Chain A
Amino acid sequence: MNFDYSTEQKEIKETTMKFAKDVMIPKASKYDHDATFPQDIIEKAWELGFVNTCIPAEFGGVGFCAVDSMIITESLAYGCMGMNTAIMANDLALLPIVIGGSDEQKKKFLTPFTEKPLIASFCLTEPGNGSDAAGLKTTVKDAGDHWVVNGEKMWITNAGFADLFVVYATLDPALKHKGICAIVIDPKESSGIEVGKPEEKMGHKCSDTRGVRFNNVKVPKENMLGGPGEGWKIAMKTLDHSRPMVASSAVGGAQCAYDYSAKYASERIQFGKPISSFQSIQFMVAEMAMKIEAARLLVTKAAWLVDNHQPNTQLASFAKAYAADACMQITTDAVQIYGGYGYSKEYPVEKLMRDAKLIQIYEGTSQIQRLVIAKEIFSRR
């Protein structure tokens, strides 16, 4: 049993946190305000190896374990949860290829991402199917020497900049999850892809979110991951890996809110004393510290299980639900500690509160995580 990061992991934390503080934080507010895609930040992060951490070493990746990815994600989310979403969405899109792709597919689709700062999008959610992902309506039809994809996807991160889409579609909606396939679509080699206007959002404003419509899009046969009907399994395994990562981003956002709060509470004077000397404030800050540590431990264990090839579905949901809810509470309390200034855009904490909300929603809402947990509990009885 050992709770210590390895020396390399400490250095990963050091360099990514430095990047978050020196490169991301100074620009976070402006990118949020203008809702511009952080292309330059992504390129810098890519050059330093912070992006696409899931790509295995044999396909040109650095060769990180899941725990390493969590450390990186936490730091990047500390810098800006919105920018991190843009970066993390790449991993989410590439993971199905890592998990379900053949060596040939991995070489073809993953390696370019190690050579250039390319962008990928994961397309699962649809206008009518969010939490009920297995009921998706996008179809994939066998047209002899190729597939044809038809349907509409919603809330697709990075869609406006994507060099690659990983799309979930069904052979027949009646087959439910057994009919779902995962297909890689290269927009440069396909016609019929219609990318919508950027959505105006409450938070994560710099990340690009759009609807995407596939109109009779022809896809080569070799672009299906794992074979017909294997998509659902791949999606679920992807979530086992990506949910701890999303949870880790919640830890990063919460840590940032906590750091601001603890500093502000020590500096802000009311009634002739720093407000950190008042119990009401102390309790809030203590609560923050406690929840952050608990969330980080859950994240680390969920990732450690991945690294040790053990089932982690339940832990991943523990981590995702707990960390997201904690992040929401902590960022809300941060605004409270800052008082009137906290509510003002001149100070950084209101943005954290807006950004936190999404983490309770995407990649399975906090409620869906509880359903997953309950299913894990009762299916074994």
Chain B
Amino acid sequence: MLNIFVCVKQVPDTETKVIPNSDGTFIETSSIKWIMNPYDEFAVEQALLIKASNAGATVTVVRVGGSKDTEALRTALAMGADEAILVEAGDNLDSYMIAKAIKGAIDKSGKKPDLVFAGKQAIDDDCLQVPQLLAQMLDMPSVSVVVGFEMNGTKLNLKREIEGGSLEVYEVDGPVLVACNKGLNTPRYASLPGIMKAKKKPMAQHSLADVGVTDADRRVKYSGFTLPPEKPAGKKFEAMEEGQRAGVVKDVVGLLRNEAKVI
């Protein structure tokens, strides 16, 4: 029996136009389309690939967040995960609280995690903290930004992407948390029969208190959400005609050197 947990987060669609709310405490969330964090799709897919080749493996998806929309969990169930756990919470938890809540939810499930998957980062707060924090809390090693995964029995070979496209190849024997990057696999679509079957799959719900998280666990506070300052209009040069090109390029290179001073 292999117990696999996958952490998923629900984030605004990448095409969302982000607008700070009126008091600057967060962003306007009323008209946002929520999706599963794109990196989490690789995590779910990897868990499902392992499940497919390990009889008796179960995949449990865990999410901490609002209960109004549960797209991320339902998508994971429709893709093929076995069960889901929702820890109900607001949108503005910090990474420490989220990691602690997931740890609490895993403990509460009564299953000892053999493998934990997560996306390498959530594209909303872009903190890149939860996988490492959770691994530390679970007393597990973790490997992040993973683009290659091989499993032989309990032995894992993980490729982590570092600077310049180089790879660190990790070897791990036993439980580990894997934070997945794009390129690891090709996430499947939720099939329509999968969606219909997902209706009947169990989804546990806990409150933050149920999993032992209180306001005292807050470590990071945000305020003053603003849009980045708009740049003043730049200079535009026409160079579609052959006669214009050389002159324009010379001018722009000169400006980069003398006006912008970046070369």
Contact = CB atoms under 8 A, between A and B. Distances in A.
Interface of A: 7-8, 11-12, 14-16, 18-19, 47-50, 53, 62-64, 72
B195 A8 contact: yes
Contacts of B199: 8
Given A8-B196, A62-B196, A63-B196, A49 B75 contact: no
A48 B192 contact: yes
Interface in B182-229: 189-196, 198-199
Given A7-B74, A8-B199, A14-B75, A19 B192 contact: no
A15 B196 contact: no
A53 B195 CA distance: 14
15 contacts: A8-B195, A11-B71, A11-B74, A11-B78, A11-B198, A14-B71, A14-B190, A15-B190, A15-B191, A15-B195, A48-B192, A49-B191, A53-B192, A62-B192, A62-B196
A47 B196 contact: no
Nearest to A68: B192
Interface of B: 71, 74-75, 78, 189-196, 198-199
Nearest to A61: B193
10 nearest A-B residue pairs (beta carbon): A49-B192, A48-B191, A15-B190, A11-B195, A49-B193, A62-B193, A49-B191, A62-B192, A48-B189, A15-B189
Nearest to B78: A11
Pick the most buried of A53, A62, A64: most chain B CB atoms within 10 A of its CB. Answer: A62
A15 B193 contact: no
Given A8-B199, A62-B196, A47 B75 contact: no
A209 to B, nearest CB: 27
A63 B199 CA distance: 14
B153 to A, nearest CB: 31
Contacts of B75: 11, 14-15
B113 to A, nearest CB: 27
A55 to B, nearest CB: 12
B195 A47 contact: no
Given A7-B74, A11-B75, A11-B78, A72 B189 contact: no
A198 B199 CA distance: 43
A50 B192 contact: yes
Pick the most buried of A11, A50, A63: most chain B CB atoms within 10 A of its CB. Answer: A11
A7 B78 CA distance: 12
Contacts of A63: 196
A47 B190 contact: no
A50 B199 CA distance: 18
B78 A15 contact: yes
Contacts of A8: 195-196, 199
A11 B78 CA distance: 9
A43 to B, nearest CB: 13
A378 to B, nearest CB: 41
A18 B191 CA distance: 11
A36 B194 CA distance: 30
A122 B156 CA distance: 53
Nearest to B70: A7
A15 B193 CA distance: 12
Contacts of B192: 12, 15-16, 48-50, 53, 62, 64, 72
Nearest to A51: B192
B74 A47 contact: no
B191 A11 contact: no
Contacts of A64: 192
Given A15-B191, A48-B191, A53-B192, 12 more contacts: A8-B195, A8-B196, A8-B199, A11-B74, A11-B198, A12-B192, A15-B75, A15-B190, A15-B195, A16-B192, A19-B189, A72-B192
A139 B193 CA distance: 40
A45 to B, nearest CB: 10
A15 B190 CA distance: 6
A162 B251 CA distance: 63
Contacts of B74: 7, 11
Nearest to B74: A11
Contacts of A7: 74
Nearest to B36: A14
Contacts of A72: 192
Contacts of A50: 192
A63 to B, nearest CB: 7
B81 to A, nearest CB: 14
B67 to A, nearest CB: 13
A72 B195 CA distance: 13
A48 B193 CA distance: 8
A12 B195 contact: yes
